Amino acid sequence: MKKKILHIIKKKNKSKIVSLTAYSKNVASILDNYCDIILVGDSLGSVLYNYKSTREVSLDMMIEHSKSVRMGIKKSLMVVDMPYNTYRNSKEALKNAKKIISKTKCDAVKLEGGKKIYNSIQTLVKNKIPVMGHLGLLPQSDKTFKFKGKKKSERENILKDAKLLERAGVFSIVLECVETSLAKHVTKQINIPTIGIGASNNCDGQILVFDDLIGLNPINARFVKKYLNIHKQIKKAVSNYSKEVRKAQFPSKKYSY
């Protein structure tokens, strides 16, 4: 198993795993100094392209953004989301995962789901392709945005799937919008790290969409903490630029040849 993967696994119960999304080299090069994992998420569909769901994201789209992100990463583990309808069966999953890895040089891929994709995950792992799992809220298949773990059946299924994914060979599992006590229980019941998003600090690590974190994406989900209001700062900068151009103050001699 690759050293970077082992490093992530060894963090279980020892130190928190820091993870963020990136869709370009410039952002990735900044995050690389602070993150353990950088995910090229299919969330780029809504964040960058204004798609209604991640289902509209294509494999080629993920690959192109990932190629850019790869150029900005030196030390972090790079994971790429496999988009909707690219791992419907083992054969398709292997073909597309190989394509992602060969073209982007990423370290691992991420797939959403549990029992339904067990065989696909097993196939990838047997072919030495590292896989990150994803349980709880599944943006590629869930039609409504609701946290998971309120119902007894949901709790039982998520725990079963977590154990199943571990058996299949995933090196970590993202738990999205999972109720606090369930996230804690799942994290204790498996030997691989859990990465939470809207799943409390009981997980072994956390991930957020970078554009949400800096306040660029106008989202007000409960699990998003905005560490910066970059939208306001960009607005101010563009406003100052437009004023200077209209008054012929920019470019001055300093900015001219």
The catalytically annotated residue of 56, 64, 156, 176 is: 176
Burial of 224 from C-beta contacts in 10 A (0-12 / 13-18 / 19+) = middle
Amino acid at 16: K
Q: Among residues 224, 222, 181, which one has the least CA distance to residue 203?
A: 181
Q: CA-to-CA distance for 83 and 71, rounded, in angstroms?
A: 21
Task: Quote the distance between the C-alpha of residue 134 and its chain's center.
Answer: 10
Rounded Cα distance, 251 and 157, in Å: 62
Expressed in percent and rounded to 5, the helix, strand and coil fractions of the chain are 45, 15, 40
Rounded (5°) CA angle 209-34-107: 75
Catalytic site includes residue 112:
no
Structure tokens at 209: 């969409």
Query: In terms of Cα–Cα distance, which of 125, 128, 126, 135 is closest to 173?
Result: 135
Q: How far apart, in Å, are the Cα atoms of 233 and each of 10, 46, 98, 184, 228?
A: 39, 22, 41, 38, 9
DSSP assignment of 108-134: EEE--BSGGGHHHHHHHHHTT--EEEE
Helices and strands, counts by H and E, the chain: 10, 8
What positions carry a catalytic annotation?
176
